[in-house]
Structure 1
Amino acid sequence: MSETVVLELRSVKKTYRSGDEALLPVLQGANLRLHAGEIVALVAPSGTGKSTLLHLAGLLDTPDEGEVTICGQSTQGLPDSGRTALRRDRIGFVYQFHHLLGEFTARENVVLPQLIRNVPKARARAEADRLLGMFGLGHRINHLPGKLSGGEQQRVAIARALANGPAVLLADEPTGNLDVQTADIVFSQLLEAVRQTGLAALVATHNEELLSRMDRVLTLRDGQLVAR
């Protein structure tokens, strides 16, 4: 693990309005420092703020108070264009459901985010093929998602998340929609990819069997992040 901090949350607070008047405090001063090469699990009951924390860390939402820093750059007061650029260039997302584009092949799904970043098409295709090969999908690059198994679809989604060389990977129940055996295979490949690339990963999961393979395990208690 590197000493380089790639994601930092400082005293982050977030409250949601429930109904007309009631307020629902979710995060109440959460702090986190995530280092390059580190894989951290986030384990907490549903409704305690895991997804909210991931959305804030991924710049999909803004905190009411506190600060989110990505690769040393504060996002406080950053315009939407700057937040979008940071998300595109520095952050990869993996969700429980793969959200692949069904009309595009596995290769094309991994190429598209690179084209949005203005990567030349030939280079984007080569990187897509490299990533899909790393996940054992070299023989499936021209298949549509509907022709892939659930585990294969999720591996394409992970390859897509890594396509732009992010510094941070945020995963929300990445194996939650898979059977136990497939989940173990996909998670093993995800861990290997993270270790090889040296990025930082924050993984929300309910899978207790996976926790021993993480560097740290955090939970949310009273709106704050604490070691479990």
Structure 2
Amino acid sequence: MAKKPKQKPVRSKKNPIEWHGHRIVTENDLDTVFADDGNVERPHIYMRRLRHGVVLVLLVGLLTAAVLFALALARGDIQLTANEPSSEPTAACPGGPFDPVDPATVTVNVLNSTSIEGLAGNGAAALEERGFTVGAIGNRSVVRSNMTAIVISGPTGYAQAFTLQRIIPGSVYVEDDRTEATVDVVLGSEYEALVPAEEVNPEPGGLVCELPSTASATPEAGATPTTPAPPPPSP
């Protein structure tokens, strides 16, 4: 009788995720444990949102500052001051004669050299009534005391300065090197009022000057109109 061949034991199929009795962690297992619930932002998205927030805050701050500055300027809390002449006045008095010009073509900065409150504001109001265009209203220190006024301009403003001297009796002219035709009028403690309109001399004439060696009308070096004078009083 023939012997039956021995059957080889059937080995069980190995589980591909097990190794020597230990389970191998798969990608699906990791996804299950560390599932993205939508509450965690990626770093680059977070940084982008942070930058956008900073830019937005800066823009809002700049806009707020601009609005506050405009309101302060409109209320008169901030006033632009006259530019300081960039060089020493010249010694020679400009030659003439000069013809008076239309006050509407003259831009004048009115400055107070005294402790008299509102002097520049009142002077500016009087000049505006005569048709002059008032630029800046402020304060300025000068060496001379007990004076009426100093009229300052550059070479292009001789006629404009002459026109102002005709209505400010006792004023002294000083030249600087500004290139525009604006004129500074620095009022002193002796200033009282403008010459009445009907008494102004319309004839050509020369500027009234004093040499720096004998005149103390020279503006003090480094002085600038920093503190605005009070505005003209309400009518």
TM, length-normalised to structure 1: 0.22
Q: Indicate the structure with greater helix content.
A: 1
Q: Which has the larger radius of gyration?
A: 2
Greater RCO (Cα-Cα under 8 Å, separation 6 or more): 1
TM, length-normalised to structure 2: 0.22
